[in-house]
Every structure is written in C-alpha cells, then in structure tokens.
Amino acid sequence: MTQAMQGGRPSVETLKWVDEGLEMIDQRVLPARFDYVRYRSAAEVAEGIRVMVVRGAPAIGCAAAYGVALEALLLRSAGPTAFVSGLEGAFEVLAASRPTAVNLFWALQRMRAVWQAHQHRSQGEIAAILLAQAHEISAQDVRINRAMGAHGAALLADGARVLTHCNAGALATAGHGTALGVIRSAVEAGKRISVIADETRPFLQGARLTAWEMVQEGIPVTLITDNMAGHLMRCGEIDAVIVGTDRVAANGDVANKIGTYMVAVLAQRHGIPFYVACPLSTIDLTLAHGDAIPIEERAAAEVTGFRDCQWAAQGVKVRNPAFDVTPAELVTALITEKGVVRKPNRENITRLFEA
Ligand code: MRU
C-alpha cells in the first residue's frame, strides 16, 4: 500500500464513507494489523476518538464532522423535537471526546453553522447537507495539506535529514499529512529527504505510524527512541525538525504531542531549525498564550505498560500528559496553507486571518 494518489484519492484512507457509515483505520493496532472499524452514530465516533482509533488533530476534526452527519441521518425520520435534541446531544458527546486538538471544535462549529443556516429545510435535507459538509471538510483538509506541503518543501535542502515527533502524516489527516505532508511534497519535488522518527512514548505514534507510512512509500526512515534525539543532533545527524500541532495560541505557542517541547529546546541548543506544520484550523485566536491550552491527561496504563505487558510496579503513581507546549520563541517558522510565518507572534499570526 502506498500513499500515492489513485484517481484523485489518497490510497491510505484514514476515514472513508461507505454505505451510510463511517469507516476509520484502527490506529491502535497498526502496523501489526490493518483494519477498518465501522461507525454508525455520533456516540460511537466520539468513543473512537477517545480511545484513539482515529487520532491526529485534523483527522479528529474530520471524524467529528462525520459523527454529526451520522446522527442527523439516524434522526432524519424522528419528530422535530427529538431531531434537535438528538443533534445537540451529538455535538455534546463529540466535544467531550478529547480536549486538546482545536480542530475538533473548529469542525463542530462549522457543522453547527451549516445546520443553523439550513434550519428551515426538511430533516432529510439537513442530514444530506451536513453529510456534504463533512465530505467537504475532509476534501479541504487534503487540499490544505498539499498547499502546506508546497510551502514547506521549499524550506528543505536536497539531502536533508529531518527529525519528526509523533505522527503528523496521512493517518493524522484526511490525506497527505501536515509535517509528513511537507516531507512528501519535498520528495515529490525530487529532493532526497530522509526521516528520523522519534518513537513517541507512550502511545508510540512514531514507531507504529510514522515509520509505517514512510516504509510503505519507500521514503528512507530511521527509528529512534525519544531519548536519542539530543545525541543525534550533537553528532550533526539532523538538519531540520518538522512537527505537527494540535493547537497554536494567538501568540504562536504550540501544543503538540508530549516530548515536542524537549525536541524544540534541543533544536535551539544545536542551531537546528524547528518547523511546525500548522493549518489555520489549528490556530486558536481565542487563547492569548499556550498556558491556556487544555492538556489532556490520559490513563496511567499507557505509561506502566503496553497492551498485555505491564512493566511498572503495580500501584505506582503516574503522570501521563498527552501534550506539551513549546513557546513561540523556540519555533523557527509555522508552515501554513497561506505560506511560511517566520518567528511567529501575535501580529504575524493575526495577519494570516485577514483577507
Ligand atoms: O494523541 P495524538 O496521536 O492525537 O496526537 C497527535 C499529535 O500530536 C500530532 O502531532 C498533531 O495532532 C498534528 S497531526 C497533523
């Protein structure tokens, strides 16, 4: 399987709409198994987001949009009161699934705006319009990733060795990826890029997902554990860092997978550019700075072991924040669909949203 486009659609389809249902690749079991899980209601999709069948900020947003559409389809023959309260319940359960990635709330807001604009229509029509909007959010995500890819590819020299953390690839989006999208676009442009993938404890998105995506495509990739990045930087084996993000505050502070902050500090110490691939849907202008970004705390079991194997002492106290915040001053540039924003700050970020 490759990520090459087939008939205009990416061949790794993180989410797909099949027979009035949403199917999502089960990212908990990759790469050992490649399975799709089928979803028929908003509550099911919310659970899929919570347990991380689907993950990655843009993909979570797309899934939530489909969750709303699924619920509207389920309720299309219900009475008007049941339709409205059922749909409100769908928004509520989806919004409660994961707190950090703002794309979730961005997508829900878009779905709500479409619902409001078409309230005078029949329930069947509203359901069809909401489904069309979910399809558009996904299609737009791929277009945005390709635009970011084109802008970001220009930043990478031929032969660059690029470190990435977590998975900001096709699996984290509707296709192409954000950070991995930049790498894909650079490769498509004829550059010889090699990737160093942090394994990304505790959920292992780097080892399981990023490495898998790169291997499928024949893009050279070397897997390291998270504590090896500093050593490789010191040995001169890394030319650039590119990561994705779950939420960027108005001042340019970046929330991303736990461990990103550590990489950014190391990159600055070694004079290595630290780039963040960031669609505008991931920027939250309502938050003045990164301290206001809600950081999800996940189950202790993710730290004390993996699947059936527990290696830590029973009952040990555990912290498991799933994200951290990298201050804007450590970010060389944000790569957006509207272009590259060097030294992000309140002024240049605000300008991105002006016509
Ligand atoms: O917990 P996850 O796997 O959802 O975290 C994902 C990340 O941190 C990604 O880097 C981020 O969502 C950007 S994905 C394009």
CATH number at residue 59: 1.20.120.420
Is there a contact between 195 and 35 (Cβ–Cβ < 8 Å)? no
Q: How far is the CA of 244 from the centre of ligand 1 (A)?
A: 7
Look at the block and give the residue holding tokens 């619902």.
Answer: 115
Q: Is there an atom of ligand 1 within 6 Å of 27 CB?
A: no
Do 185 and 44 belong to one domain? no
Q: Is there an atom of ligand 1 within 6 Å of 130 CB?
A: no
**Residue 2, pLDDT score:** 37
Closest CA to ligand 1's atom 5: 56
Do 159 and 131 belong to one domain? no
pLDDT tens-digit readout, 105-152: 999 999 999 999 999 999 999 999 999 999 999 999 999 999 999 999
**What range defines the domain where residue 207 resides?**
150-352
Q: How far is the CA of 166 from the centre of ligand 1 (A)?
A: 7
Q: Is there an atom of ligand 1 within 6 Å of 172 CB?
A: yes
Q: State the pTM of this model.
A: 0.96
Do 157 and 292 belong to one domain? yes
- Walk along the chain (355 residues) in steps of 10 and give the mean pLDDT of each run: 44 92 98 97 98 98 98 98 98 98 98 98 98 98 98 98 98 98 98 98 98 97 98 98 98 98 98 98 98 98 93 97 98 98 98 91
Is there a contact between 27 and 41 (Cβ–Cβ < 8 Å)? no
pLDDT tens-digit readout, 146-187: 999 999 999 999 999 999 999 999 999 999 999 999 999 999
Do 315 and 195 belong to one domain? yes
Q: Is 246 a catalytic residue?
A: yes
Q: Is there an atom of ligand 1 within 6 Å of 322 CB?
A: yes
Dist. CA 306–CA 148, nearest whole Å = 34
Dist. CA 246–CA 27, nearest whole Å = 18
Do 171 and 304 belong to one domain? yes
- Give the count of domains, the chain: 2
Q: Is 282 helix (H, G, I), strand (E, B) or coil?
A: helix
